[in-house]
Amino acid sequence: MPEPVVSTSSPGHEAPYPAPAVAWYATIVFASLYWLSILDRFIISLLVDPIKRDMGISDMQFGLLHGFAFAITYTIFGFLAGALTDRASRRWIIFVSVSVWSLATAACGMAQHFWQMMLARVGVGVGEAGLNPSATSMLADLFPRDKLTSAMAVYALGSSLGSGTAYLLGGAIVELVSHADTYTLPLVGEIRAWQAVFFVLGIPGFLLSFIIFTLPEPLRRNQRTVEKSTSLSRGIFTAYRDLLRFMRLRIRFFLYHYSGFALASAVLAGCGVWYPAHMGRTFGWSASQIGLSFGLTLVIAGVAGKLICGYIVDAMYSRGYRDAQLRWYATCLLIAAPVGVIATTSGNPWIFLAGIGVFLVLLSPLPACYGAAMNLVTPNEMRGTGVAFFAATVGLVSVSGGPVLIAGISDYLFSGPADIGLGMATLIAIFCPIGALLLAAGCSGMREAMAEMESQ
C-alpha cells in the first residue's frame, strides 16, 4: 500500500520560519543560479555567424539548436523535475540540474558537428528544467506568506540580469570571436574562439553548483495527506493527476490565472525577441549600440520593477488583500498598454527606450506575481508539479507563439519586416487589456482559494 505523507505542521502550531538572513541568502543563491541559467540558455544567439560558418549549417538547423532542442527537452524533463521536487530533496535536484546544464554548456564548446551541438543543447534543456520548480518550492517554505512575493521578485531578478548581461556582453563576445581564430586550453587543446565562450561559462557554472549545499533543506509546510508511490513512473502520473484534480476544484482561480498570465507572457516573450530587430531596422543602430542601450534598459527596468512589485504586493497582502498578486498585475497591464504602444510606434530611439523601460518596470515582475499567487493557493506537495505544468503549457505556448504572432501581424496587416514595431504595438494593444480583465476576473477565485488554504 502507498505510504501516506502527512503535514508536518498544523494550524496554530506551525514551526517557525528560518531566520531572515538564512532565507534571503538562499534567495540570492537561487537568483544567481537563475542568472547563470538565462545566460547559458541565450549565449548561443550571440554566436550565430561563427557557428554556422564553422559547422556549415543552415538557418533552419541553427533554429533547431537555439529553440527546438532546448524547448522540447526543457518541457519534457520539466514534468519529471516537478514531480521529483514534491517528493525528493530539492537541494540535490538543483545541484544535479546546475551541474548538468553547466557541463552541457561546456560540451557545446567541444562540438565539431551539428548533431554533437544538438545533443549538448538537449543537455542544457534537461539541466535547466530542474531549477524553477525546486527553487520556488523552497522559497515558499523559507518565507511567510506576506513576504513571498518579494522573495519571488528577488529570485526573478536572475532573469532580468541574465538577459541584460547577454545583451551587454554581446559586443564584447562579437569582438572576442572576430579578433582571434583559436585559443589553447589546458587538457582540451586548441579550440575556436566561439567555443571558448561556452567553456568560460560552463566550467565555472559547474563549480558554482556546489554552493547549493550551503543552504538548508527547509521544512515542508502546508502539506495535505497524499499518496507517495514507490514507482517513479506511477509517482509522476499520480502527481499530475492530483494536480489536475486540485485545479478543477479551484477552477475560478486557475482558469483566469492561466489565461491572463498567458497573454501577458506572449507580449513579454514576443516583444523581447523583436526589440533588437526593431531598433536596427527603425533607428539604424549597430549591434553594439543596441546591446549596450537595450541591455542597460533591461537590467535597470527589470531590477526596479521587480523590487517595487515585491514591496507593494506584500504590503497589500499584509493589509488583507488576498488577491494582491492578480490585482496588482492587472493594474500594471492596463497602464502598460498605452505606454508600450507609444514606445513601439515612435520613430525616436530615446522615446522608444524610455517607453520600453517603463513598460518593463510594469510587466517584468510577471514571474513573481504568477509564481507567488500559484504557490500561495497550492499545497506544498503540488507546488513543483504546478510550476512545471504552468511552464509546459502557458510558458511553452507563449514563448513560441508570441514572436510568431508579432511577425504574422507585421507581415499580413502591415508592410512586413519594416513594420515589426506596429506588430508589437498591435499585440500589446489587444493582449494587455484582455489579460488585465482576465486577471481581475480571477481575483474573487483567488480570495476563495486563499480562505480555504488559510483555514487548514
- Look at residue 232 in the predicted model and tell me its pLDDT: 52
Do 136 and 50 lie in one domain? The reply is yes
Phi, psi of 72 (to 5 degrees): -65, -50
The average confidence (pLDDT) of the chain is 87
Do 33 and 178 lie in one domain? The reply is yes
- Look at residue 416 in the predicted model and tell me its pLDDT: 80
* Neighbouring residues of 77: CB distance < 8 A, sequence distance ≥ 6: 125, 126, 129, 130
Segment (H or E) for 182: strand 182-185
- Look at residue 164 in the predicted model and tell me its pLDDT: 85
Do 327 and 389 lie in one domain? The reply is yes
Strand partners, 183: 191
- Look at residue 174 in the predicted model and tell me its pLDDT: 61
- Among 3-7, 64-68, 144-148, the range with the most confident prediction by mean pLDDT is 144-148
CATH of the domain at 312: 1.20.1250.20
**CB–CB of 157/306 below 8 Å?**
yes
Do 259 and 136 lie in one domain? The reply is no
User: Rounded to an integer, what distance in angstroms lies between the CA atom of residue 119 and that of residue 393?
Assistant: 24
**CB–CB of 337/396 below 8 Å?**
no
Last residue of a domain, one of 189, 218, 247: 218
- Among 39-48, 173-182, 336-345, the range with the most confident prediction by mean pLDDT is 336-345
**CB–CB of 110/121 below 8 Å?**
no
pLDDT at 192 over 90: no
User: Rounded to an integer, what distance in angstroms lies between the CA atom of residue 378 and that of residue 245?
Assistant: 12
User: Rounded to an integer, what distance in angstroms lies between the CA atom of residue 191 and that of residue 400?
Assistant: 33
Position 382 in a domain: yes
**CB–CB of 87/231 below 8 Å?**
no
pLDDT at 294 over 80: yes
Position 1 in a domain: no
Domain tally, the chain: 2
- Look at residue 200 in the predicted model and tell me its pLDDT: 83
- Look at residue 289 in the predicted model and tell me its pLDDT: 84
Do 49 and 84 lie in one domain? The reply is yes
pLDDT tens sequence across 130-166? 999 999 999 999 999 999 999 999 999 998 888 888 7
pLDDT at 178 over 60: no
Query: What's the average model confidence in pLDDT over 57-80?
Result: 79
Do 344 and 387 lie in one domain? The reply is yes
pLDDT at 213 over 60: yes
Helices (H), 346-390: 349-363, 366-377, 383-390
pLDDT at 184 over 80: no
Do 396 and 302 lie in one domain? The reply is yes
Confidence of residue 171 (pLDDT cuts 50, 70, 90): low
Do 393 and 305 lie in one domain? The reply is yes
Do 408 and 282 lie in one domain? The reply is yes
Tell me which residue range forms the domain holding 76: 17-218
Q: What angle do CA 423, 429, 432 make, to 5 degrees?
A: 120
User: Rounded to an integer, what distance in angstroms lies between the CA atom of residue 133 and that of residue 384?
Assistant: 5
Last residue of a domain, one of 194, 218, 242: 218
Query: What's the average model confidence in pLDDT over 354-379?
Result: 95
Question: Side chain identity at 320, as an amino acid letter?
Answer: G
Question: Side chain identity at 346, as an amino acid letter?
Answer: S
**CB–CB of 99/131 below 8 Å?**
no
- Residue of 428, 257, 406 lying closest to 341 (CA atoms): 428
Confidence of residue 180 (pLDDT cuts 50, 70, 90): low
Please indicate whether residue 337 or residue 63 has the higher confidence score (pLDDT): 337
User: Rounded to an integer, what distance in angstroms lies between the CA atom of residue 276 and that of residue 401?
Assistant: 18
Position 89 in a domain: yes
Dihedral angle computed from the Cα positions of residues 338, 399, 397 and 278, in that order, rounded to the nearest 10 degrees: 50
- Look at residue 288 in the predicted model and tell me its pLDDT: 76
Position 3 in a domain: no
Confidence of residue 188 (pLDDT cuts 50, 70, 90): low
Instruction: Tell me how crowded residue 16 is: count the other CB atoms within 10 A of its CB.
Output: 7
Helices (H), 284-323: 287-318
Position 138 in a domain: yes
- Look at residue 2 in the predicted model and tell me its pLDDT: 33
**CB–CB of 246/378 below 8 Å?**
yes
- Look at residue 179 in the predicted model and tell me its pLDDT: 63
Do 188 and 300 lie in one domain? The reply is no
Position 331 in a domain: yes
Please indicate whether residue 165 or residue 376 has the higher confidence score (pLDDT): 376
- Look at residue 11 in the predicted model and tell me its pLDDT: 42
- Look at residue 6 in the predicted model and tell me its pLDDT: 34
* Neighbouring residues of 391: CB distance < 8 A, sequence distance ≥ 6: 74, 75, 78, 132
Please indicate whether residue 247 or residue 397 has the higher confidence score (pLDDT): 247
Query: What's the average model confidence in pLDDT over 122-136?
Result: 92
- Look at residue 315 in the predicted model and tell me its pLDDT: 96
**CB–CB of 246/383 below 8 Å?**
no
pLDDT at 228 over 60: no
Last residue of a domain, one of 184, 218, 252: 218
* Neighbouring residues of 20: CB distance < 8 A, sequence distance ≥ 6: none
User: Rounded to an integer, what distance in angstroms lies between the CA atom of residue 384 and that of residue 391?
Assistant: 11
Position 384 in a domain: yes
* Neighbouring residues of 281: CB distance < 8 A, sequence distance ≥ 6: 417, 418, 420
Position 396 in a domain: yes
- Look at residue 287 in the predicted model and tell me its pLDDT: 74
Do 170 and 313 lie in one domain? The reply is no
Lowest mean pLDDT among 29-33, 50-54, 243-247, 375-379: 50-54
Do 387 and 438 lie in one domain? The reply is yes
Query: What's the average model confidence in pLDDT over 25-42?
Result: 92
Please indicate whether residue 178 or residue 10 has the higher confidence score (pLDDT): 178
Confidence of residue 7 (pLDDT cuts 50, 70, 90): very low
Coil, helix or strand at residue 233: helix
